Amino acid sequence: MIIIKKNGDKLFKNIIFLIGLFTILPVFIILAFILFKGLMGINFDFLFSMPSDGMRSGGIFPAIIGSIYLTIGTILFSVPFGIFTGVYLVEYAKETPLTRFINLTIINLAGIPSIIYGLFGMALFVIFLNFGSSILSGSLTLGIMCLPVIITAVREALLSVPNTLREASLALGATKWETIYKVVLPAASPGILTGIILSVSRAAGETAPIMFTAAAFYFPFLPSGIFDQVMALPYHLYVISTQVPNMPIENMYGTLLVLVVITIGFNLIGAFVRNRFKNKH
């Protein structure tokens, strides 16, 4: 019986391993294909020069800078509000039908298509608040899109912290805010940072929200302020793939590779910070 049980466990383990392998294998194949095709179009001029000849030649430097600006703006607008909202819902708000409705609404907002956020951002920021199509409008729109994911991640991470830690801190004379700031948030930081990484990575590759609020079809200059339009890699890739005739194929794959590298780069930075917090606390 023991031998049969061990063989069954080993077989089940192998099946799970094969399922996981077949799940992630297509991802690595796609990444290898993008890397192989994209490297043919990558050079110094492509990365650090302005586009020319209707974007058929030149580089993608303004699109790279625009994507970085939009991603940083998204972080600045979404992360503080997401963390404070999650802290309030878990640590301060009482359990009432209203708070349960708010939590359910936040979860549902995380599943809304990104184009809805783009139309909302255009109506509110571009038209109503008269920010125009700009970095500010795009960052605010992407920030709102990221908020539900960040709030949910913060809420779940805080709920996973044992109440005994809170009680021990309060028993030692710490105030509620000191307990949250010095005990609860550090303990929940790996889960919080995971949610932030996932939401920001999604925002860095979105096209629909910035199409209506920030991205320019052709803008071969660097922005001078937050009220300027920008080129952005996701929208630029969409444009050169569908709207520009006779576009060299290596330019499309090169742009795609740069976008993937930037997205993975933000993930790696976030994972590094998360591991530092995890090891420290």
Question: Whole-angstrom Cα distance, residue 124 to residue 196?
Answer: 24
Distance CA 269, CA 281 (A): 18
Phi-psi region of 54 (alpha: psi -120 to 50; beta: other; left: phi over 0): left
> pTM here?
0.86
Place of tokens 């009482």: 94
How high is the pLDDT of residue 278?
66
Dig out the tokens for 278 from the structure: 């995890």
CB 263 within 8 Å of CB 205: yes
Radius of gyration of the chain (CA): 23
d(CA 177, CA 159) in angstroms, rounded, equals 16
Q: What SS3 state is found at 51?
A: strand
Per-residue confidence (pLDDT) for residue 147, from 0 to 100: 92
Report residue 182 as tokens: 């010095």
Task: For 4-15, give the DSSP string.
Answer: HHHHHHHHHHHH
280's tokens: 């420290």
Report pLDDT for 3: 56
Paired with 230 in beta bridges are 215
Give the pLDDT confidence of 2-20 residue by residue, as tens digits.
Answer: 555 566 677 777 788 888 8
The tens digit of pLDDT for each residue in 14-51 reads 788 888 888 888 888 888 888 888 888 888 888 888 88
pLDDT > 90? residue 247: no
* 100 vs 280: which has the higher pLDDT: 100
Mean pLDDT of 96-113: 86
